[in-house]
Amino acid sequence: MHMADALLSPAVGGVMTGVSALAIAYGVKKMTGDTLNEKKIPMMGVMGALVFAGQMINFTIPGTGSSGHIGGGILLAALLGPVPALLTLASVLLIQCLFFADGGLLAYGCNVFNMGVTSCFLAFQFIFKPIMKKGKTRKDHTTPQYIIIASIAAVVIGLQFGAFGVVLETLLSGITELPFGAFLVLMQPIHLAIGLVEGIVTAGVLCYVHQVRPELLDSAVEDTQIPQALPTNKILISFLALTVLVGGILSLFASAYPDGLEWSMEKVAGTAELEREGSVYETAASVVETTAFMPDYSFAGDEEGSALGTATAGILGSIITIVLAGGIGFIIRTARKTA
Protein backbone atom coordinates (compact mmCIF):
# COMPACT_ATOMS: atom_id res chain seq x y z
CA MET A 1 0.00 0.00 0.00
CA HIS A 2 2.93 2.31 -0.67
CA MET A 3 1.60 5.47 -2.29
CA ALA A 4 3.46 7.09 -5.17
CA ASP A 5 3.95 10.86 -5.40
CA ALA A 6 1.54 11.12 -8.36
CA LEU A 7 -1.37 10.22 -6.07
CA LEU A 8 -0.96 13.38 -4.01
CA SER A 9 -0.90 17.12 -4.31
CA PRO A 10 2.15 18.83 -2.78
CA ALA A 11 -0.13 20.41 -0.17
CA VAL A 12 -1.60 17.10 1.02
CA GLY A 13 1.80 15.42 0.93
CA GLY A 14 3.33 18.22 2.99
CA VAL A 15 0.52 18.29 5.53
CA MET A 16 0.60 14.52 6.02
CA THR A 17 4.37 14.57 6.48
CA GLY A 18 3.82 17.14 9.21
CA VAL A 19 1.05 15.05 10.79
CA SER A 20 3.21 11.93 10.84
CA ALA A 21 6.17 13.87 12.24
CA LEU A 22 3.97 15.29 15.00
CA ALA A 23 2.63 11.81 15.84
CA ILE A 24 6.17 10.48 16.16
CA ALA A 25 7.33 13.49 18.19
CA TYR A 26 4.32 13.24 20.52
CA GLY A 27 4.91 9.54 21.02
CA VAL A 28 8.60 10.02 21.80
CA LYS A 29 7.80 12.80 24.25
CA LYS A 30 5.23 10.66 26.07
CA MET A 31 7.58 7.69 26.39
CA THR A 32 8.67 6.90 29.90
CA GLY A 33 12.12 5.70 30.84
CA ASP A 34 10.76 2.15 31.02
CA THR A 35 9.46 2.10 27.44
CA LEU A 36 12.78 1.90 25.62
CA ASN A 37 15.61 0.09 27.38
CA GLU A 38 18.75 -1.69 26.19
CA LYS A 39 16.84 -4.93 25.60
CA LYS A 40 14.35 -3.32 23.25
CA ILE A 41 16.87 -1.51 21.00
CA PRO A 42 18.20 -4.67 19.29
CA MET A 43 14.61 -5.87 18.99
CA MET A 44 13.79 -2.71 17.02
CA GLY A 45 16.57 -3.44 14.54
CA VAL A 46 15.84 -7.14 14.11
CA MET A 47 12.06 -6.80 13.93
CA GLY A 48 12.42 -3.89 11.51
CA ALA A 49 14.59 -6.09 9.28
CA LEU A 50 11.99 -8.87 9.41
CA VAL A 51 9.21 -6.48 8.40
CA PHE A 52 11.36 -5.07 5.59
CA ALA A 53 11.93 -8.59 4.26
CA GLY A 54 8.29 -9.53 4.80
CA GLN A 55 7.05 -6.58 2.77
CA MET A 56 9.01 -7.89 -0.23
CA ILE A 57 6.74 -10.94 -0.41
CA ASN A 58 3.49 -10.26 -2.20
CA PHE A 59 0.96 -13.08 -1.72
CA THR A 60 -1.80 -13.69 -4.26
CA ILE A 61 -5.42 -12.95 -3.31
CA PRO A 62 -7.28 -15.86 -4.98
CA GLY A 63 -9.85 -15.02 -7.63
CA THR A 64 -8.96 -11.32 -7.83
CA GLY A 65 -5.80 -10.98 -9.90
CA SER A 66 -4.41 -8.93 -7.01
CA SER A 67 -1.81 -9.45 -4.31
CA GLY A 68 -0.90 -8.03 -0.94
CA HIS A 69 1.99 -7.83 1.49
CA ILE A 70 2.23 -7.41 5.23
CA GLY A 71 2.29 -3.92 6.70
CA GLY A 72 3.84 -5.07 9.96
CA GLY A 73 2.48 -2.35 12.23
CA ILE A 74 0.63 -4.63 14.65
CA LEU A 75 3.43 -7.18 14.68
CA LEU A 76 5.94 -4.48 15.62
CA ALA A 77 3.66 -2.86 18.20
CA ALA A 78 2.89 -6.22 19.81
CA LEU A 79 6.60 -6.84 20.46
CA LEU A 80 8.00 -3.34 20.89
CA GLY A 81 5.15 -1.13 22.06
CA PRO A 82 3.44 1.53 19.90
CA VAL A 83 6.10 4.26 19.80
CA PRO A 84 9.18 2.07 19.13
CA ALA A 85 7.05 0.23 16.56
CA LEU A 86 6.18 3.44 14.72
CA LEU A 87 9.81 4.56 14.76
CA THR A 88 10.84 1.18 13.37
CA LEU A 89 8.21 1.15 10.62
CA ALA A 90 9.06 4.74 9.67
CA SER A 91 12.68 3.59 9.28
CA VAL A 92 11.61 0.70 7.03
CA LEU A 93 9.52 3.01 4.82
CA LEU A 94 12.33 5.56 4.56
CA ILE A 95 14.82 2.91 3.45
CA GLN A 96 12.35 1.52 0.92
CA CYS A 97 11.77 5.00 -0.50
CA LEU A 98 15.31 6.33 -0.67
CA PHE A 99 17.29 3.20 -1.50
CA PHE A 100 14.81 1.05 -3.42
CA ALA A 101 12.43 3.65 -4.94
CA ASP A 102 9.42 1.96 -3.33
CA GLY A 103 6.94 4.67 -2.37
CA GLY A 104 7.38 8.34 -3.21
CA LEU A 105 9.32 10.88 -1.18
CA LEU A 106 6.42 13.34 -1.30
CA ALA A 107 4.14 10.49 -0.21
CA TYR A 108 6.40 9.41 2.67
CA GLY A 109 4.30 11.11 5.36
CA CYS A 110 1.11 9.53 3.98
CA ASN A 111 2.72 6.09 3.93
CA VAL A 112 3.92 6.46 7.52
CA PHE A 113 0.44 7.55 8.60
CA ASN A 114 -1.54 4.97 6.59
CA MET A 115 0.68 2.01 7.46
CA GLY A 116 2.11 3.08 10.80
CA VAL A 117 0.03 5.54 12.79
CA THR A 118 -3.28 3.81 12.04
CA SER A 119 -1.90 0.44 13.16
CA CYS A 120 0.64 1.27 15.89
CA PHE A 121 -1.42 3.96 17.60
CA LEU A 122 -5.10 3.40 16.74
CA ALA A 123 -5.62 -0.33 16.09
CA PHE A 124 -3.04 -1.43 18.64
CA GLN A 125 -4.28 0.83 21.43
CA PHE A 126 -8.04 0.40 20.92
CA ILE A 127 -8.30 -3.13 19.50
CA PHE A 128 -5.22 -5.23 20.23
CA LYS A 129 -4.49 -4.18 23.81
CA PRO A 130 -8.06 -4.55 25.18
CA ILE A 131 -8.43 -8.02 23.67
CA MET A 132 -5.02 -9.11 24.96
CA LYS A 133 -5.80 -7.87 28.47
CA LYS A 134 -9.15 -9.63 28.44
CA GLY A 135 -7.44 -12.91 27.58
CA LYS A 136 -4.96 -12.89 30.46
CA THR A 137 -4.89 -15.96 32.69
CA ARG A 138 -4.01 -16.22 36.35
CA LYS A 139 -0.37 -16.54 35.34
CA ASP A 140 -0.72 -13.07 33.84
CA HIS A 141 -0.08 -14.20 30.24
CA THR A 142 -2.61 -13.94 27.41
CA THR A 143 -3.89 -17.25 26.05
CA PRO A 144 -3.14 -18.16 22.41
CA GLN A 145 -6.81 -17.97 21.46
CA TYR A 146 -6.95 -14.31 22.42
CA ILE A 147 -3.62 -13.61 20.71
CA ILE A 148 -5.09 -14.92 17.46
CA ILE A 149 -8.29 -12.91 17.84
CA ALA A 150 -6.42 -9.73 18.79
CA SER A 151 -3.96 -10.09 15.91
CA ILE A 152 -6.54 -10.64 13.18
CA ALA A 153 -8.97 -8.01 14.47
CA ALA A 154 -6.31 -5.32 14.94
CA VAL A 155 -4.58 -5.95 11.60
CA VAL A 156 -7.86 -5.94 9.65
CA ILE A 157 -9.16 -2.76 11.28
CA GLY A 158 -5.81 -0.99 11.04
CA LEU A 159 -5.54 -1.84 7.35
CA GLN A 160 -9.10 -0.69 6.71
CA PHE A 161 -8.26 2.69 8.25
CA GLY A 162 -5.07 2.82 6.19
CA ALA A 163 -6.87 1.98 2.94
CA PHE A 164 -9.50 4.62 3.67
CA GLY A 165 -6.70 7.09 4.33
CA VAL A 166 -5.31 6.47 0.83
CA VAL A 167 -8.71 7.09 -0.75
CA LEU A 168 -9.31 10.24 1.29
CA GLU A 169 -5.85 11.63 0.53
CA THR A 170 -6.33 11.18 -3.21
CA LEU A 171 -9.72 12.92 -2.93
CA LEU A 172 -8.24 15.89 -1.05
CA SER A 173 -5.45 16.02 -3.63
CA GLY A 174 -7.96 16.38 -6.45
CA ILE A 175 -6.89 13.22 -8.28
CA THR A 176 -9.84 13.08 -10.68
CA GLU A 177 -8.71 9.80 -12.25
CA LEU A 178 -9.67 8.10 -8.96
CA PRO A 179 -13.27 9.08 -8.07
CA PHE A 180 -13.92 8.70 -4.35
CA GLY A 181 -16.86 6.26 -4.51
CA ALA A 182 -15.46 3.89 -7.13
CA PHE A 183 -12.00 3.89 -5.57
CA LEU A 184 -13.40 3.28 -2.07
CA VAL A 185 -15.55 0.35 -3.20
CA LEU A 186 -12.48 -1.43 -4.52
CA MET A 187 -9.89 -0.44 -1.91
CA GLN A 188 -11.75 -1.53 1.22
CA PRO A 189 -12.72 -5.12 0.25
CA ILE A 190 -9.34 -6.00 -1.28
CA HIS A 191 -7.54 -4.72 1.81
CA LEU A 192 -9.96 -6.67 3.98
CA ALA A 193 -8.72 -9.84 2.28
CA ILE A 194 -5.10 -8.71 2.61
CA GLY A 195 -5.68 -7.89 6.27
CA LEU A 196 -7.04 -11.37 7.00
CA VAL A 197 -3.90 -12.98 5.59
CA GLU A 198 -1.59 -10.58 7.44
CA GLY A 199 -3.58 -11.10 10.63
CA ILE A 200 -3.05 -14.86 10.43
CA VAL A 201 0.68 -14.40 9.77
CA THR A 202 0.95 -11.96 12.68
CA ALA A 203 -0.92 -14.34 14.98
CA GLY A 204 1.45 -17.18 14.03
CA VAL A 205 4.55 -15.15 14.88
CA LEU A 206 3.09 -13.87 18.15
CA CYS A 207 1.97 -17.35 19.22
CA TYR A 208 5.57 -18.50 18.71
CA VAL A 209 6.79 -15.62 20.89
CA HIS A 210 4.15 -16.57 23.46
CA GLN A 211 5.63 -20.04 23.65
CA VAL A 212 9.24 -18.84 23.92
CA ARG A 213 9.16 -15.47 25.71
CA PRO A 214 5.60 -14.39 26.66
CA GLU A 215 7.11 -11.56 28.72
CA LEU A 216 7.82 -9.70 25.46
CA LEU A 217 4.11 -9.50 24.69
CA ASP A 218 3.34 -8.42 28.25
CA SER A 219 5.96 -5.67 28.02
CA ALA A 220 4.44 -4.22 24.85
CA VAL A 221 0.83 -4.40 26.06
CA GLU A 222 1.69 -2.86 29.43
CA ASP A 223 4.12 -0.36 27.83
CA THR A 224 6.92 -1.31 30.20
CA GLN A 225 10.56 -2.22 29.70
CA ILE A 226 11.71 -5.72 28.85
CA PRO A 227 13.17 -7.16 32.10
CA GLN A 228 16.96 -6.91 32.07
CA ALA A 229 17.31 -10.50 33.26
CA LEU A 230 15.08 -11.88 30.48
CA PRO A 231 17.12 -13.84 27.89
CA THR A 232 16.24 -12.63 24.37
CA ASN A 233 19.06 -14.15 22.33
CA LYS A 234 16.92 -17.07 21.16
CA ILE A 235 14.22 -14.75 19.85
CA LEU A 236 16.72 -12.45 18.16
CA ILE A 237 18.59 -15.29 16.48
CA SER A 238 15.40 -17.00 15.30
CA PHE A 239 14.05 -13.76 13.82
CA LEU A 240 17.39 -13.01 12.16
CA ALA A 241 17.33 -16.46 10.58
CA LEU A 242 13.74 -15.90 9.46
CA THR A 243 14.73 -12.54 7.96
CA VAL A 244 17.47 -14.17 5.89
CA LEU A 245 15.06 -16.88 4.75
CA VAL A 246 12.31 -14.43 3.81
CA GLY A 247 14.45 -11.68 2.29
CA GLY A 248 17.03 -13.89 0.60
CA ILE A 249 14.94 -16.85 -0.58
CA LEU A 250 11.16 -16.54 -0.20
CA SER A 251 11.17 -13.07 -1.78
CA LEU A 252 12.07 -14.79 -5.07
CA PHE A 253 8.63 -16.41 -5.11
CA ALA A 254 6.58 -13.25 -4.55
CA SER A 255 3.36 -12.89 -6.54
CA ALA A 256 3.65 -11.00 -9.84
CA TYR A 257 0.11 -9.64 -9.50
CA PRO A 258 -0.33 -5.93 -8.68
CA ASP A 259 -0.85 -5.13 -5.00
CA GLY A 260 -4.20 -3.99 -3.64
CA LEU A 261 -3.58 -0.30 -4.31
CA GLU A 262 -2.27 -0.83 -7.85
CA TRP A 263 -5.09 -3.28 -8.60
CA SER A 264 -7.71 -0.79 -7.44
CA MET A 265 -6.14 1.98 -9.50
CA GLU A 266 -6.10 -0.17 -12.63
CA LYS A 267 -9.77 -1.05 -12.17
CA VAL A 268 -10.77 2.59 -11.76
CA ALA A 269 -8.30 4.60 -13.86
CA GLY A 270 -7.12 1.91 -16.26
CA THR A 271 -3.52 2.31 -15.09
CA ALA A 272 -1.44 2.15 -11.92
CA GLU A 273 1.06 4.69 -13.27
CA LEU A 274 -0.42 8.17 -12.99
CA GLU A 275 1.71 11.14 -14.03
CA ARG A 276 2.03 14.58 -12.44
CA GLU A 277 4.10 17.55 -13.54
CA GLY A 278 5.62 20.30 -11.43
CA SER A 279 8.81 21.31 -9.71
CA VAL A 280 7.90 19.55 -6.44
CA TYR A 281 7.36 16.21 -8.19
CA GLU A 282 10.53 16.64 -10.23
CA THR A 283 12.60 17.49 -7.16
CA ALA A 284 11.26 14.53 -5.17
CA ALA A 285 11.88 12.17 -8.10
CA SER A 286 15.39 13.56 -8.56
CA VAL A 287 16.28 12.91 -4.92
CA VAL A 288 15.08 9.30 -5.11
CA GLU A 289 16.85 8.73 -8.44
CA THR A 290 20.07 9.91 -6.80
CA THR A 291 19.79 7.81 -3.65
CA ALA A 292 18.15 4.63 -4.96
CA PHE A 293 21.02 2.27 -5.70
CA MET A 294 18.67 -0.73 -6.24
CA PRO A 295 15.40 0.64 -7.70
CA ASP A 296 12.52 -1.84 -7.57
CA TYR A 297 14.76 -4.17 -5.54
CA SER A 298 16.97 -4.93 -8.55
CA PHE A 299 20.46 -4.04 -9.71
CA ALA A 300 20.56 -0.67 -11.48
CA GLY A 301 19.94 -1.19 -15.19
CA ASP A 302 18.42 -4.65 -14.71
CA GLU A 303 14.93 -3.89 -16.01
CA GLU A 304 13.78 -7.52 -15.93
CA GLY A 305 14.94 -8.07 -12.36
CA SER A 306 17.15 -11.04 -11.50
CA ALA A 307 16.91 -13.54 -8.68
CA LEU A 308 20.33 -12.44 -7.46
CA GLY A 309 19.24 -8.80 -7.45
CA THR A 310 16.08 -9.53 -5.46
CA ALA A 311 17.92 -11.66 -2.91
CA THR A 312 20.67 -9.05 -2.58
CA ALA A 313 18.11 -6.29 -2.06
CA GLY A 314 16.35 -8.35 0.60
CA ILE A 315 19.50 -9.03 2.59
CA LEU A 316 21.07 -5.60 2.10
CA GLY A 317 17.86 -3.76 2.95
CA SER A 318 17.47 -5.84 6.09
CA ILE A 319 20.99 -4.99 7.21
CA ILE A 320 20.42 -1.27 6.61
CA THR A 321 17.17 -1.49 8.57
CA ILE A 322 18.90 -3.10 11.55
CA VAL A 323 21.42 -0.26 11.60
CA LEU A 324 18.91 2.57 11.13
CA ALA A 325 16.09 1.35 13.38
CA GLY A 326 18.47 0.17 16.09
CA GLY A 327 20.48 3.38 15.78
CA ILE A 328 17.39 5.55 16.17
CA GLY A 329 16.41 3.60 19.28
CA PHE A 330 19.91 3.99 20.72
CA ILE A 331 20.02 7.74 20.04
CA ILE A 332 16.62 8.36 21.62
CA ARG A 333 17.49 6.18 24.62
CA THR A 334 20.80 8.01 25.12
CA ALA A 335 19.20 11.43 24.71
CA ARG A 336 16.50 10.67 27.29
CA LYS A 337 19.05 9.36 29.80
CA THR A 338 21.20 12.50 29.53
CA ALA A 339 18.30 14.98 29.41
Query: 116-163, pLDDT tens digit by residue?
Result: 999 999 999 999 999 999 888 656 678 899 999 999 999 999 999 999
Question: Of all residues in the chain, what percent carry a pLDDT higher than 70?
Answer: 98
pLDDT single digits (tens) 40-66: 899 999 999 999 999 999 999 999 999
Residue 30 or 100, more confident: 100
What per-residue confidence (pLDDT) applies to 138? 58
pTM: 0.96
What per-residue confidence (pLDDT) applies to 306? 86
Residue 109 · residue 17 · CB < 8 Å: yes
Task: Give the integer Cα–Cα distance in Å for 71 and 88.
Answer: 12
Is the confidence at residue 203, as pLDDT, over 80? yes
Residue 302 banded pLDDT, cuts 50, 70, 90: confident
What per-residue confidence (pLDDT) applies to 8? 97
Nearest to 332 by CA among 86, 77, 14, 71: 86
User: Which CATH code fits 5-338?
Assistant: 1.10.1760.20
Residue 65, helix vs strand vs coil: coil
* Helix and strand totals (H; E) in the chain: 13, 2
